[in-house]
């Protein structure tokens, strides 16, 4: 891990396309601004972890395709196992 020290209004640039700027420091919190191309996802780590966990859980869900077809036709939510 690279550790840098920055003051308020100072920035770092990542890969020439992402800029992280220190906007303020209040107590134990640092406010940062991130400029990145629209196609670059920028998320808090805890959100990325939640999404990854939910994707893993969803990939383990199995659905009987015939039951799903019938359920969708009837407008009823399918059972998952």
Residue-wise pLDDT for 50-65, tens only, equals 999 999 988 887 777 8
Q: What is the pLDDT of residue 66?
A: 83
Q: What is the pLDDT of residue 78?
A: 58
> What b/e string do you get for 60-75 counting C-beta neighbours within 10 Å, with b at 16 or more?
eeeeeeeeeeeeeeee
Q: What is the pLDDT of residue 29?
A: 95
Q: What is the pLDDT of residue 58?
A: 84
All structural domains of the chain with their residue ranges = 1-40, 43-81
| Cβ atoms of residues 20 and 33 within 8 Å | yes
Residue-wise pLDDT for 38-50, tens only, equals 999 999 999 999 9
pLDDT grade for 81, boundaries at 50, 70 and 90: low
Q: What is the pLDDT of residue 69?
A: 83
């Amino acid at each position: 891990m690279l550790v840098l020290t920055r003051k308020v209004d100072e920035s770092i640039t990542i890969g020439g396309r992402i800029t992280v700027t220190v906007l303020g420091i209040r107590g134990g919190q640092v406010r940062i601004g991130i400029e990145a191309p629209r196609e670059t996802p920028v998320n808090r780590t805890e959100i990325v972890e939640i999404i990854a966990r939910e994707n893993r859980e969803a990939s383990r869900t199995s659905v009987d395709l015939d039951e799903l077809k019938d359920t969708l036709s009837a407008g009823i939510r399918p059972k998952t196992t």
